[in-house]
Amino acid sequence: MHGLGNDFIVTTQNETEGYDLPGLAKRLCARRINIGADGLIVALPCGEADIRMRIFNPDGSEAEMCGNGIRCFTRFVYDEKIVPKKDMSVSTLAGIMRPELVFEDNRVTGVRVDMGSPVFENDRIPVISENPALSNNIIVLGQPFSVSTVLMGVPHTVVFLKEGDSVDPSVFGPAIETHAAFPKKTNVNFVRVLGPDSLRITTWERGAGLTLACGTGACAAAVVSSLKGFTQKKANVFTQTGKLVIEYKDTGAVYMTGPAEYVFSGTVMQDGF
């Protein structure tokens, strides 16, 4: 499945029983020599919510949450009748998320997710700095950057680019991701403000590299942009393949609405594991 090109292998606990999930993610997500994906998502039973979601990056690391991933996951468990509810609770390492399926003419057209509230405290993100996480300065590859970091389920660092700025995300993304200021690493979002209700974003994902879209990154970018007065509290965040609608409520909650699409379904032969 994919959400704006951010693609995932989505399956259940029964299908992966007995397998080492980090190792399985490494093998199955390898492009060209296996299915290929930005992550492996597994649905598991849960006592504290309707369902539990675990997501593993292509390098085998487990992510706390994934915005595009949870939309795909929600549609999958609904269509498979694992959770036959149009709105549900999903347990993740970042807490319980509350997605809701969006319908038009009885057809699923997207998923709206209550992503919770962003966290700005340095020690909780975490960020090592004497400056506030929202107004930090770092030097990467000899170049100074003004950055803002928030915890939006996972750590996200936002870099605003002005017209004329030439920054290669594939070069500076991994350098910022592994900067000493971020002891658990960070996702990196390169953002251009298009107008009072529009942003364009390119994301370097921790553990995955450049992706076509990132849901939690879009949320982080919209929150920071709103707080800095660049955009309103509701914004369209454009990726390479489409847009997400992000709403930063006065209550502090962030809502994300976007698509969740199927690519194919199938069976992996035993040797493929």
- How do residues 1-20 score in pLDDT, each as one tens digit? 999 999 999 999 999 999 99
Query: What's the pLDDT score for residue 272?
Result: 52
Average confidence score pLDDT of the chain: 95
Q: Check: CB of residue 94 under 8 Å from CB of residue 243.
A: no
Whether the Cβ atoms of residue 222 and residue 216 lie closer than 8 Å to each other: no
119: phi then psi, degrees, rounded to nearest 5: -115, 130
Question: Per-residue pLDDT for 68 more than 60?
Answer: yes
Q: What is the mean pLDDT of residues 12-29?
A: 95
The model's pLDDT over 114-144, given as tens digits with 9 standing for 90+, comes to 999 999 999 999 999 999 999 999 999 999 9
Cα 187 from Cα 202, distance rounded (Å): 11
Fold (CATH) for 133-250: Diaminopimelate Epimerase; Chain A, domain 1 (3.10.310)
Is pLDDT of 166 > 90?
no
Task: Inform me whether the pLDDT recorded for 163 exceeds 90.
Answer: no
Taking residues 50-66, what's their average pLDDT? 96
Calpha distance 113→150 (Å, rounded): 18
Q: Which CATH superfamily is domain 2-116+259-266 in?
A: Diaminopimelate Epimerase; Chain A, domain 1 (3.10.310.10)
pLDDT band at 165 (very low <50, low <70, confident <90, very high): confident
Q: Quickly state the pLDDT bin for 273 (edges 50, 70, 90).
A: low
pTM for the whole structure: 0.90
DSSP string for the chain: -EETTEE-EEEEHHHHTTS-HHHHHHHHT-TTTSS--S-EEEEE--SSSSEEEEEE-TTSPEES--HHHHHHHHHHHHHTTSS--SB--EEETTEEEEEEEEEETTEEEEEEEE----B--TTTTT---SS-GGGEEEEETTEEEEEEEEEESEEEEEEE--TT----HHHHHHHHHT-TT-TT--EEEEEEEEETTEEEEEEEETTTEEES--HHHHHHHHHHHHHTTSS-SEEEEE-SS-EEEEEE-TTS-EEEEE--B--------GGG-
Return the active site residues: 66, 214
Q: Where in the chain is the domain with CATH 3.10.310.10?
A: 2-116+259-266, 133-250
